[in-house]
Structure 1
Amino acid sequence: MVKIGNIEIGEFPLLLAPMEDVSDPPFRAVCKENGADLMYTEFISSEGLIRNAAKSLEKLDIYDYERPIGIQIFGDKIESMREAASIAEEAKPEMIDINYGCPVKKVACKGAGAGILLDIPKMQKMTAEIVKQVNLPVTVKTRLGWDDSTIKIVEVAQRLQDVGIAALTIHGRTRKQMYKGEADWTKIAEVKNHPDIHIPIFGNGDIDSPEKAVEYKNRYGVDGIMIGRAAIGYPWIFNEIKHFMKTGQHLTAPTIQDRVNATKKHLNFSVEWKGDKKGIFEMRRHYTNYFRGIPHFKPYRTRLVESISHEEILDILSEIENNFTEVFAS
C-alpha cells in the first residue's frame, strides 16, 4: 500500500495531474467517479493567495467526495510560499503540493515553477520552510531539469527528501522541452531505484493507454502514475488502466450515453459552481474532447459552443445521444 504520510492511496495509485484551467472541481468530479485515486487542484499563485485574489481563493474550493486531495501552490518568494501554504492548509486538504514543474514563460522565467530548477539550493530552502510551516504532508511535482545540461533530478530528489517531503512526482521532460518530444522515464527510474530514496516516486508524462501504463509500471518500477492530458475529455482512462492491470483485458469503451452523461455532469457542476455565464463559457473547451473521434460531430460542437443557455445545451446533448447511439452500437 502506497502512503503519503499516513494517507493510504492504493497499491498502485493513479493520480490526476494539476492542470491550469482544467483541474477544477467539476472536472475532478468526473475523474474521481472514474477511478482517480489522488487529485490535485489547479496550481494556485502564492502571491494571489496572500493578497486574497478572488481567482486564487476560488481554487481552494474542495469537496469531501474528492478526498484525498492536495492543494498545489507556486511562487518564487520563500516567505510568500510559506504564508500561502498556511492559507491552503486552512482549506483542509490532505496535503500541500509545491509546483516546481510549470514550464510556461510567465511562471518559469520569473523563477517559479520549473524556473527554480536553476537554483536548487533555493528550491531546497523553500521546500524546507513549507514543510516546517504546515502540519500536513508536503509533496512536490517537478521536471527533470531546466534543459539537458542541467538535469540533476537524483540530487533534487535527495535534497527534497532530506528536508521532509512525503512524495515526489517527476514529469519526464525538461522545461526546455515543454510538452514536446518523449518523456524520459529512465531518469525517473534512476530516482526511484536509488538506494537512498525511500519516499514514493510517481512518474508523469505520455501515459495515454492501459498498455503503456502497465509497461511503464513494470519497466520503471515507480510507485504510481500521474495522468494529465490523457484524462481531458476521457476520465474513463483511470478505471481502464486499473481493469487492464488486474485482468489484462480491456474495459468496453465508453458508449455515447457514457460520454453524454459525463458531459452533462461536468456541465451541471460547472454551472452550479461558477454560475450560468462563467460555467457555460468554461465548458466550451471540453466538448471536442468528450466527443473526440465521433464522425460528423462538428455541427453539434458548433451549436454547443455557441449556446448560452444551460437548458439548450442539455437538449443538444440529449440530441447527440439519440442521433449517435446507432453509430456506437454498430
Structure 2
Amino acid sequence: MPKIGNIILPDYPLLLAPMEDVSDPPFRRLCKMHGADLMYSEFISSEGLIRDAMKSRMKLDIFDYERPVGIQIFGGDEEAMEMSAKIVDTVQPDLVDINFGCPVKKVVCKGAGAGVLKDVDLMVRLTKAVIKGTSLPVTVKTRLGWDEASINIDEVAERLQDIGVQALTVHARTRAQMYKGHSDWTHIERIKNNPRITMPIFGNGDIDSPEKALEYKNKFGLDGMMIGRAAIGYPWIFNEIKHYFKTGEKLAPPTVADRVEAAQNHLIWSMEWKGERVGIVEMRRHYTNYFKGIQDFKQYKQRLVTSDGHNELFDIFNQIKEVYANYDNALTGQ
C-alpha cells in the first residue's frame, strides 16, 4: 500500500487530478462518493495567495468528508512559494502538491507550471522552499519534459526525492504535446523501476475506461493512477475501474436518472459553496458532459444552460427523468 507521510492509501489508489475550473469542492465531493481515493484542489497561484486574492483564498476550502485531500500550488518565485506553503499549512490539508506540469501559456510565461521543466535547478529550489514552508508532506505533479528532445523526468524524479518529496505524479506527455497525441507511460515505468526511487510513483494521461486502467496497471507496475478529464461529468469512472479490477466485469452504466441525480447534487453543492447565482452559471459548463450521448437531448441542454432559477432547473431535471424513464429501462435491460 502506498504511503505519503502518514497517509496510507489503498492498494493501487485512484487519484482525482487537480483541474482548473473543475476540481472544486462540489465536484470533488461527487468523485469521492464514487470512489476517488485521493483528491487535490484546483491549482492555486502562490502570488494570488500572498496578495490575498479572493479566488485563490476560496480554493483553499476543504472539507473533512474529502480527506485525504491535497492543496496544489504553483509559482516561479522561491519566496512566494515558501510563503504560500505557510498559508496552506494553516488550513491543514493532508498534503501540499506542487504543479510543475501545467502547460498553459499564461502559467508557463511566468516561469511556473511546466515552464520549470526547462530549469531543473530552479524546480529543486522552488520545491525546497515549499518543503521549508510547511509541516505537511510535499508531493509533485509534472510532465515528462519540455519536449521530445528534452525528456528529463529521470533526473527530476531522483533530485526531487533527494530533497524530501514524498510522491510524484507524472502526466505522460511533454509540455509541447499539451493534451494532444498519445501519452507514453514507458518513461514513468522506467522511473518506477529505478532502484534509487522509493517514493510512490503515479501515472496520469489517457485513462478513460476500466479496460485501459487495468491494462496500464498490469503493464507499467506503478503505485496508482490519476484520472482527470475522463471524470468530468462522469464521476462513476472511479468505482467502475475498481469493480473491473476486482471482478473483470463492467458495471452497468449510469442511467439517465443517475446522471440527473449527479448533476442536481453538483448544482446544489455549487450553489451552497459559491452562492446561488454563481453556482447556477458555473454549473452550465458541466451539463454537456453529464448528459453526453443521450438521444434528442439538445432542447433540454438549451434550457439547462439558459435557466436562471434553481426551481426552474429542478423542474427541468424532473422532466428529463420522466421523459427518459423508458430510455433508462433500455439502458439497464429492464
Give CA-to-partner distance per residue, 1:6-27, whole Å, 9 cap, x none: 1011101000000000000010
2:232: which partner in 1?
232
CA contact (8 A) 2:304 2:316 kept: yes
Distance in structure 1 (CA, Å) of the matches to 2:3 and 2:233:
29
Aligned residue type for 2:254? P
1:133 to partner: Cα distance: 2.0
Distance in structure 2 (CA, Å) of the matches to 1:145 and 1:289:
31
Match of 1:306, SS state, is coil
Give CA-to-partner distance per residue, 1:159-213, whole Å, 9 cap, x none: 0000001100000000010000000100111111111100000000000000100
1:237 to partner: Cα distance: 0.2
User: TM-score by structure 2 length?
Assistant: 0.98
Distance in structure 1 (CA, Å) of the matches to 2:304 and 2:129:
47
1:173: which partner in 2?
173
Aligned residue type for 1:263? A
Give CA-to-partner distance per residue, 1:214-235, whole Å, 9 cap, x none: 1001101110000000000000
1:120 to partner: Cα distance: 0.3
CA contact (8 A) 2:257 2:328 kept: no
Distance in structure 1 (CA, Å) of the matches to 2:109 and 2:170:
20
Distance in structure 1 (CA, Å) of the matches to 2:39 and 2:82:
22
1:109 to partner: Cα distance: 2.1
1:327 to partner: Cα distance: 1.2
Match of 1:286, SS state, is helix
1:311 to partner: Cα distance: 1.0
1:241 to partner: Cα distance: 0.3
Give CA-to-partner distance per residue, 1:253-289, whole Å, 9 cap, x none: 1111111111111000000111111000000000010
1:215: which partner in 2?
215
Aligned residue type for 1:310? H
2:251: which partner in 1?
251
1:62: which partner in 2?
62
2:105: which partner in 1?
105
Distance in structure 2 (CA, Å) of the matches to 1:181 and 1:321:
38
Give CA-to-partner distance per residue, 1:111-152, whole Å, 9 cap, x none: 100000011001011111211221100000000011111111
Distance in structure 2 (CA, Å) of the matches to 1:263 and 1:173:
31
1:263: which partner in 2?
263
Aligned residue type for 1:10? P
CA contact (8 A) 2:137 2:166 kept: yes
What does 1:41-80 align with in structure 2 at a 5 Å threshold?
41-80=41-80
Match of 1:166, SS state, is coil
* Structure 2: tracts of 5 or more residues without a match: none
2:193: which partner in 1?
193
1:316: which partner in 2?
316
Distance in structure 1 (CA, Å) of the matches to 2:97 and 2:87:
13
Distance in structure 2 (CA, Å) of the matches to 1:42 and 1:8:
23
Matched residues, number? 330
Match of 1:213, SS state, is helix
Distance in structure 1 (CA, Å) of the matches to 2:74 and 2:249:
40
Aligned residue type for 1:69? V
Distance in structure 2 (CA, Å) of the matches to 1:177 and 1:203:
17
1:313 to partner: Cα distance: 0.6
Give CA-to-partner distance per residue, 1:53-102, whole Å, 9 cap, x none: 00000000000000000000000101000100110111110000000000
2:3: which partner in 1?
3
1:136: which partner in 2?
136
2:182: which partner in 1?
182
Match of 2:73, SS state, is strand
1:88: which partner in 2?
88
Distance in structure 1 (CA, Å) of the matches to 2:194 and 2:109:
31
1:328 to partner: Cα distance: 2.4
Aligned residue type for 1:16? L
Identity %: 63
* Structure 1: tracts of 5 or more residues without a match: none
Aligned residue type for 1:307? S
1:280 matches 2:272: no
Match of 1:98, SS state, is strand
Match of 2:235, SS state, is coil
After the TM superposition, list the runs of 4 or more consecutive aligned residues in structure 1 that deviate by more than 4 angstroms: none
